[in-house]
Each structure stands twice: as structure tokens, then as C-alpha cells.
């Protein structure tokens, strides 16, 4: 697991809210995030690798999903703060680590 204190990384905890389940939430997260980024005109950050998103493995008994976002430029960080987090907050319990 990446070091959460590493520079240029944000960890976001996602808690599924009923009626969503852990498995349905886990399956829809990455497409939801990528779609939101592209709809806001920032798909180039994904395509270039300046913004990378991955779902971390959690303990089998965990009720949270960890998303690790790695950004290589300030523009990518702003997309995380202005696009990704608000979109996630509309559907899930969200806490930035």
C-alpha cells in the first residue's frame, strides 16, 4: 500500500450509503470518477498520467473503500478537490485522510 504521507498523493475513504453495498460501490467508483473528470474537460490529466486513481484492497471485514489518487501537477490536485471529492460526496460517505 502506498505511503499516505507521500508527496502528491491523496487518500479518500468511501463508505457506501444504503441501498449501495460494498461490492456495488467498489465496482462503480472508478468509472464514476473518470466520467466526472472527463465531463469537466480534464480527461487529458488521466490520459497523460498526471492524475492516477486506484482502489486499494481493504480488509475483508472493512466497511470502507480506500481510493488513492496520485497527482503530478497542481492542476490535477485542483481537479481532485473541485471535481472528484464533490461527485463522491453526492453518493457516498467521504473522508479525506
pTM of the entire predicted model: 0.84
9-96: CATH number? 3.30.70
**Higher pLDDT among residues 97 and 72, named by residue:** 72
pLDDT for the residue numbered 6: 54
Q: Where are the domains of the chain?
A: 9-96
Per-residue pLDDT tens over the stretch 14-67? 988 888 888 888 889 999 999 999 999 999 999 999 999 998 867 666 778 899
SS (H, E, C) the chain: CCCCCCCCEEEEEEECCCCCCHHHHHHHHHHHHHHHHHHCCCHHHHHHCCEEEEEECCCCCCCCEEEEEEECCHHHHHHHHHHHHHHHHHHCEEEEC
Across the range 77-84, mean pLDDT stands at: 95
pLDDT of residue 3: 47
Amino acid at each position: 500500500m502506498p505511503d499516505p504521507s507521500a508527496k502528491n498523493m491523496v487518500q479518500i475513504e468511501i463508505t457506501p450509503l444504503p441501498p449501495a453495498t460494498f461490492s456495488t460501490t467498489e465496482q462503480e467508483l472508478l468509472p464514476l470518477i473518470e466520467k466526472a473528470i472527463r465531463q469537466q474537460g480534464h480527461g487529458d490529466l488521466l490520459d497523460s498520467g498526471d492524475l492516477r486513481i486506484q482502489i486499494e484492497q481493504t480488509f475483508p471485514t472493512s466497511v470502507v473503500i480506500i481510493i488513492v489518487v496520485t497527482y503530478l501537477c497542481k492542476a490535477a490536485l485542483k481537479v481532485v478537490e473541485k471535481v472528484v471529492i464533490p461527485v463522491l460526496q453526492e453518493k457516498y460517505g467521504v473522508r479525506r485522510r
